[in-house]
Amino acid sequence: MNAQMLSLNQLKQIALHREAFIYYIFFFVLFFFAIVLHDTAFLTFSNFMNIVKQTAPLTIMAVGLTFALAVGHIDLSIGSVVALSALVGALLLQHTGIPLAVLGALLVGVTVGLINGLLIERLQVSSLLITLGTMGIITGIARQLTNLESVPIINQDFTFLFGSGKVLGMPILLLWTLVIGGCAYIILKKLAAGRHLLAVGGNPVAARAMGIKVTRIRLYALIASSTAAALAGLLYAGRLHGARYTLGEADLLTVIAAVAIGGTSLFGGRACIVGAILGTWLMGIINNGLILSGFSTNEQMIARGVILVIAVAIGVKEIRNG
Amino acid sequence: MVRSSLDQVALELSSIKKSFGGVHALQDVTFTINKGEVVGLLGDNGAGKSTLVKCISGVYAPDSGEIKVNGKAVVIRSPEDARAAGIETVFQDLAMIPEFNIVQNLFLNREIKHKNPILRWLGWLDTKAMTKRARKALNRLNTRIPSYNEQIHNLSGGQRQAIAIARAVNWGADIVIMDEPTAALGVEQSAQVNDLIKVISSQGVAVLLISHNMQHVVETCDRAVVLYQGSSVADVAVAEVTKEDLVGLITGAKKIAA
Ligand SMILES: Nc1ncnc2c1ncn2[C@@H]1O[C@H](COP(=O)(O)OP(=O)(O)O)[C@@H](O)[C@H]1O
Ligand SMILES: [Mg+2]
């Protein structure tokens, strides 16, 4: 569009757009901590790189969850998939090479997504209940698998690829974030597949009437969500040199809050990948800032909860307003 | 108003039947529509109009009966089958995605892909080409739209209806079915939709129009087919009957040899 044709009204619309919200809050929080924590290491490049590396698994989960939300589903099982995939990957690494271990771990994600999707479609029960159930099952399996024991990873190529590596000076975890985020962005914004995903979330009846395979697309979205969680499990395992059943345990709330604050609708039809990534980084910054300010883990948890409630409140208000 | 329609049958329905359990929604529906003709489908609540539309558009499969398009028998088991046969339906709820803009809705599930073969294989969208085609399609129907980037839920009812009709015609449909296109519209917008129906029928499209609004039927239709308790009981030239006649046929108070 011609820049001169942008009227004041349109500028106002863009500025007040729901998807712009994350930018305001992101820079507000950044600004806030930068001032409050001016005499600490908060506002340093290495601190931000640390945040990006620490939140890499979360951003991947958030990107995956965006697909589930786009079609109007929620996926509560992603946290448990992180643990199971990490354990399966770590166990396989003791016997085989990286390709098979990675494949096995990702297969955990694909399988869980497939089961979630089939159960939801067959039973016609909400994704909330089904994935709550599978979350419990997978958590149980992950605990059972090694009797709550951790599984160390000594394969250096693996920890390079999924953790500490650097490519052209860029931390590999940031690279993972950008590559997966970039692919997801292209799918949702540029490809017919993304168009159909959003159509299914926006108005499933209309999508079906236009010949879109609604059931299949919902299934793909749930597979994307849990496979992304499985990849997140590998990123945790790579960075921490091992897997443990507690991985991902506390991430569900953070990821949902991040995605919601990033402008993705919790009720389907609107997805924002950039927002999801900024949202997780925002959560990381808040955590980091709270730690540097001397707040406890419990207090950080409260902060996460508050952010989720705010994000949801904005979303619901929007729906009411039409 | 009498318009000369081409004397070629576009759609022919013979003895269509459809039951839901014990409810005989359609008992025996038989009629034809010529190319360029606008046929009104009338009937009281529960007469079976919506069920018939769904049988023709592939939402339901009829239990028995035959559907011919341009003289050839077709089997319609899904919306895709109907579309492949050249039948497009403008649904009552318009089947639009509220968050999508005009172009995105017009090309939903028939997106134009990028020219580059690799990108095309990925399903990469050619937004420019779609915007261009959208402009052409809407111009062809004399429809003025503020901006193609406008989300559907920001448009008026009449504009939405125009988009839905444009979408149907844009796909080269020979037959367009409209379920109550003016039900939710004011007078002025109804008139716009009527004009639109005339434009597309003058381009040779056969139109089946479901409506409760007698005035609307009298103004736009060449013929009217009346359903009564699941059967087609009358098939009349609109110019030869009064509104009262039509109402009598709908309520079953009046009978004509079909
Ligand atoms: N899916 C369905 N299941 C059971 N009965 C139905 C169904 N759809 C329509 N019917 C019945 O078929 C009859 C015709 O309905 P319908 O086609 O909706 O009529 P109209 O659109 O003319 O008001 C009604 O008696 C209705 O109750
Ligand atoms: Mg009806």
Are residues B124 and B18 both part of a single domain? Answer: no
Residue B93: inside a domain = no
Residue A56 domain boundaries: 20-314
Which residue is closest to A187 within chain B, CA to CA? B124
Cα(B89) to ligand 2 centroid in Å equals 14
Q: Residue B11's domain is classified under what CATH number?
A: 3.40.50.300
Using the Cα atoms of residue B68, residue B72, residue B77 and residue B82 in order, give the sign of their dihedral. negative
Q: Do B64 and B181 reside in the same domain of the chain?
A: yes
B99 touches chain A (CB under 8 A): yes
Check whether residue B197 and residue B245 sit in a common domain: yes
Is pLDDT above 90 for B155? no
As for the ipTM of the complex, it is 0.83
> Atom 11 in ligand 1: which residue has the minimum CA distance?
B25
| Whether residue B182 sits in one domain with residue B118 | no
**Residue B91 included in any domain:** no
Domain-located, residue A10:
no
Percent of chain B with pLDDT over 70: 95
Considering CB atoms only, which of A191, A208, A210 is closest to B124? A191
**Inter-chain touch A195–B124, beta carbons under 8 Å:** no
Across the interface, whether the CB atoms of A211 and B125 are under 8 A apart is answered: no
Identify residue A168 by its one-letter amino acid code. Answer: L
Residue A14 located in a structural domain: no
Q: Which of B38, B44, B6 is CA-nearest to residue B227?
A: B44
In the predicted model, is pLDDT for residue B145 greater than 80? no
Compare all CA atoms of chain B with the CA of A196 and give the residue at the minimum distance: B109
Residue B192 exposure: Cα atoms within 13 Å on the Cβ side: 18
Q: B25 CA to middle of ligand 1, Å?
A: 6
B97 touches chain A (CB under 8 A): yes
Mean predicted lDDT score pLDDT of chain B: 88
Q: What is the extent of the structural domain holding B228?
A: 1-86+177-258
- Give residue ranges with CB within 6 A of ligand 1: B 20, 23, 25, 43, 45-51
Contact between B111 and A195 using a beta-carbon 8 Å cutoff: yes
| Coil, helix or strand at residue B150 | coil
pLDDT tops 90 at residue B137: no
Domain check: are B138 and B14 in the same one? no
A129 domain-assigned: yes
Domains contained in chain B, number: 2
Task: Clarify whether residues B6 and B59 are in a common domain.
Answer: yes
Q: Which among A52, A37, A26, A49 has a CA at the least distance from the CA of A290? A: A37
Is A292 among the domain residues?
Answer: yes
Do B243 and B186 fall into the same domain?
yes
Return the bridge partners of A60, or none.
none
CATH number assigned to the domain comprising residue A247: 1.10.3470
β-pairing, A166-167 vs A170-171, is: antiparallel
Q: Do you know the residue count of chain B?
A: 258
Determine the pLDDT at residue A318: 64
User: Does B165 map to a domain?
Assistant: yes
The verdict on B162 and B223 lying in the same domain is no
Q: Is residue A2 part of a domain?
A: no
Which of helix, strand or coil describes residue A167? Answer: strand
Residue A181 lies inside a defined structural domain of this protein: yes
Return averaged pLDDT per consecutive 10 residues of chain A, 322 residues in all.
54 66 87 90 93 97 98 97 98 96 98 98 95 97 95 96 94 97 97 97 90 94 98 97 94 91 88 95 92 86 81 68 51
CB contact under 8 A, B97 and A206: yes
Residue A82 lies in a domain: yes
Q: Which ligand has the minimum distance to the alpha carbon of residue B54?
A: 1
Give the distance (Å) from ligand 1 centre to CA of residue A57. Answer: 52
B194 close to B220: Cβ distance less than 8 angstroms = yes
Closest Cα in chain B to A1: B149
Q: In angstroms, what is the span from residue B208 Cα to ligand 2's centroid?
A: 14
Closest CA to A266 of A75, A63, A72, A59: A72
Contacts 24+ apart (CB under 8 A), A319-322: A319/A267, A322/B153
| CB-neighbour burial class of residue A17 (10 A; exposed 0-12, middle 13-18, buried 19+) | exposed
Quick one: closest CA in B to A268, which residue?
B99
- Ligand with an atom nearest the CA of residue B25: 1
Shortest distance, CA B109 to any CA of chain A (angstroms)? 6
Assigned domain for B58 exists:
yes
CB contact under 8 A, B104 and A207: no
pLDDT of residue B194: 87
Classify residue A321: in a domain, yes or no: no
Ligand 2 ion: nearby residues, β-carbon < 5 Å: B 50
Q: Give yes or no: residues B5 and B81 share one domain.
A: yes
Overall domain count for chain A: 1
Top mean pLDDT of A18-22, B17-21, B193-197 is at B17-21
The residue whose CA is least distant from atom 26 of ligand 1 is B46
End residue of a domain, out of B156, B172, B188: B172
Chain B residues 173-202 within an 8 A CB cutoff of chain A: none
Asked if A209's CB is within 8 angstroms of B98's CB, the reply is no
Residues B136 and B256 grouped into a single domain: no
Q: Within chain A, where are the H helices?
A: 8-15, 21-36, 45-70, 78-93, 98-123, 127-145, 156-159, 172-190, 192-202, 204-209, 214-240, 251-261, 273-292, 297-321
> Quick check: B123 and A192 CB within 8 A?
yes
* Closest residue in A to B105 (Cα–Cα): A199
Same domain, B34 and B57: yes
Cross-chain Cβ contact A203/B109 below 8 Å: no
Of B121, B155, B172, the last residue of a domain is B172
pLDDT for A18 equals 67
| Domain end call among B115, B142, B172 | B172
CA-B52 nearest atom, ligand 1: 17
B10 inside domain: yes
**CB A255, CB A307: distance < 8 Å:** no
**How close, in Å, is residue A246 to chain B by CA atoms?**
38
pLDDT value at residue B187: 79
